[in-house]
Amino acid sequence: MYYDNMSGHNVEQISESVHWVGVRDWDRRLFDALIPMPQGTTYNSYLVRGEKTALIDTVNPGFEEELIAKISTLMDPAEIDVIVMNHAEPDHAGSLPIMLEKCPRAVVVATERGGRLASMYFNVPDDRLHIVKDGDTLDLGGRTLRFAEAPWLHWPETMFTFLEEERVLFPCDFLGAHTAKGIWSDQNEEIYSYAKRYFGQIMMPFRKQGQRGVEKARQLNPLIIAPSHGPIHRNPDKIMDLYDRWTDGETKNKVMIAYVSMWSSTSKLVHTLSEQLISDGVEVVVHELTGSDLGEIAKDLVDSRAIVLGSPAFLGGLHPLAAYAAMLVKALRPPAKYAAVVSSYAWGGGAIKQAGEILGATNMDIVGTVEISGPPGEAEHQAVIELAQELATKMRG
C-alpha cells in the first residue's frame, strides 16, 4: 500500500505498473436516483505507467480534486498522455472536462460511439479523441493496452481495456459492485452479495450481451479484474463463474414475493401462499414494499424462477408501491418464468387487471390470480393454497 501522509490520500499499487487512484463515495445513497446503496460505492480510476501514462476512466463529478490529488502523489497529472474512456456515463467520464484541462497533452481513447457521446456530453473536441475498434492496441512503451468492444454493458458504447503484460482487465461497470468497502474483493465478506444486487439492477436487462462479455473476459485470461465500481478481483474466476450463471439466467426453485397491504387482507393471502410454497419445498423470499430495499428485490430477481405480486386495489388499480414493483420487474427483465398475483378489495377491484397489463408485457407465464373482496375466509385461503400448489408444480416441471 502507498499512503501519502501529507495529503491523506490513499492510492494502491495493484500490479507492477498499475495504481488505483479512484475515490470512495461512502455517502452516496442512490444509484439512478432509484436503487439504494447501503455501503456507498467507489469510482475507480487507474493509472497505468509505461514510458507513457494512461489514466483508465475518471470519477464522478465533484471528486475531480481528489482524483488529481491522488495522481499527484505519483506524478504530475500534466504528463498523462492518454485517458481511456471505457464508458461515457458521467460517474466515469463526467470529470473529463476538468481532466482535459489538467492533462493538456492527453487524448481520450474511446469507441466510435463513445467518441460521439464524449463530444455530446463533455465537449471533447475531435482533435483530442482517439477512436479505437475491437482488438486495437496502444503501445505505452513497455506496456500495451488492448481494447475490446463490449457493447451494451450497459450502454451502447462500452468497452474493456486489457493491460497485456500484467493481464489486468478493466471492464468498467461490468463485473463491478456498489460498495466502498475493500480494495480487494477478498477484503469484503459480502462482496458477492453486493455484486449480485449490482448485476440485478444494472446488467440483468442485458444478459445476452453479458454472456458475450464474460466470454470476451475469459478469452483475455486476466489475472486481475479491476472494475470501475467496488473492490478489485485477484481471484477472477469466482466473479466470472457467477456471471456465467447470472447471464445464463440460471434460476433456482425460488419465488420472490413483493407485496403491500393496507388493512391486512393482502398480507394474509401472502402469508398463506408463502407457507404453502415452503411446504412444497420452494425457497421463498418476501419483500414488504413499504420498507423494502429495491436493491434486494433486484438481487432476488437474478435467480428466482417465479414472482408473486400482492396488492390491494387502490382507486381502481394497483397500490402505487405494487405498480412500482411491477414496473421494476418489467424493466429489469429477470429470467423468472412464472408469475402470480393476489389482491383484495373493498368495493371495487382493478389491481389484478393492472398487474396483468404490466406483467403481460414480460415473458412470464401468469400462472394464476386470486382476487377477493374483504378479509379472506376459508374459501379464499383455499384458493391461495391451490394457486401456490399450481405454481410449485409448474416450477418443478
Q: Estimate to the nearest angstrom the gap between the alpha carbon of 96 and the chain centroid.
A: 23
Considering only the stretches 7-15, 88-96, 126-134, 267-275, report the one whose residues sit in contact with ligand FEO under the rule CB under 6 A: 88-96
Considering only the stretches 84-92, 289-297, 309-317, 336-344, report the one whose residues sit in contact with ligand FEO under the rule CB under 6 A: 84-92
Evaluate whether 259 touches 288 at the Cβ level (below 8 Å).
Answer: yes
Q: Is the dihedral of CA 165, 138, 225, 238 positive or negative?
A: negative
Does 300 interact with ligand FEO (rule: CB under 6 A)? no
Per-position b or e across 323-344, b if 16+ CB within 10 A of its CB: bbbbebbeebebbbbbbbbbbb
Evaluate whether 351 touches 345 at the Cβ level (below 8 Å).
Answer: yes
Nearest-CA neighbor of 44 among 72, 27, 25?
A: 25
Binding mask 180-219 for ligand FEO (x = CB under 6 A): ----------------------------------------
Evaluate whether 26 touches 34 at the Cβ level (below 8 Å).
Answer: no
Of 152 and 184, nearer to ligand FEO (C-beta) is 152
> What amino acid is encoded at 307 in this protein?
I
Least separation in angstroms between CB 286 and ligand FEO? 30
Of the residues 25, 57, 64, 91, which one makes contact with ligand FEO according to CB under 6 A: 91
- 337-356: which residues touch ligand FEO (CB under 6 A)? none
Least separation in angstroms between CB 60 and ligand FEO? 9
Of the residues 25, 64, 89, 380, which one makes contact with ligand FEO according to CB under 6 A: 89
Beta strands 9-15 and 2-4, pairing class: antiparallel
Does 24 interact with ligand FEO (rule: CB under 6 A)? no
Least separation in angstroms between CB 243 and ligand FEO? 16
Evaluate whether 358 touches 365 at the Cβ level (below 8 Å).
Answer: no
Least separation in angstroms between CB 89 and ligand FEO? 4
Q: What SS3 state is found at 19?
A: strand
CA angle, residues 257, 214, 242, in degrees to nearest 5: 40
Evaluate whether 292 touches 324 at the Cβ level (below 8 Å).
Answer: no
The whole-angstrom separation of Cα 166 and Cα 162 is 9
Q: Which helix (H) or strand (E) holds 294?
A: helix 294-301
- List beta partners, residue 2: 11
Q: What SS3 state is found at 223?
A: coil
Q: Which three cell numbers stand for residue 98?
A: 476538468
Q: Which residue is nearest to ligand FEO, using beta carbons?
A: 89
Least separation in angstroms between CB 236 and ligand FEO? 19
* Burial class (CB within 10 angstroms; exposed 0-12, middle 13-18, buried 19+) of 58: buried
Of 94 and 368, nearer to ligand FEO (C-beta) is 94
Least separation in angstroms between CB 167 and ligand FEO? 23
Considering only the stretches 76-84, 85-93, 180-188, 270-278, report the one whose residues sit in contact with ligand FEO under the rule CB under 6 A: 85-93
Of 201 and 265, nearer to ligand FEO (C-beta) is 201
Binding mask 219-258 for ligand FEO (x = CB under 6 A): ---------xx-----------------------------
Binding mask 32-71 for ligand FEO (x = CB under 6 A): ----------------------------------------
Least separation in angstroms between CB 27 and ligand FEO? 16
Rg from Cα positions in the chain: 24
Of the residues 157, 173, 296, 380, which one makes contact with ligand FEO according to CB under 6 A: 173
Of 87 and 305, nearer to ligand FEO (C-beta) is 87
Q: Is the peptide bond before 154 cis (omega within 30 degrees of 0)?
A: yes
Does 87 interact with ligand FEO (rule: CB under 6 A)? yes
- 92-151: which residues touch ligand FEO (CB under 6 A)? 92
Evaluate whether 352 touches 343 at the Cβ level (below 8 Å).
Answer: yes
Residue ranges that bind ligand FEO, judged by CB under 6 A: 87, 89, 91-92, 154, 173, 228-229
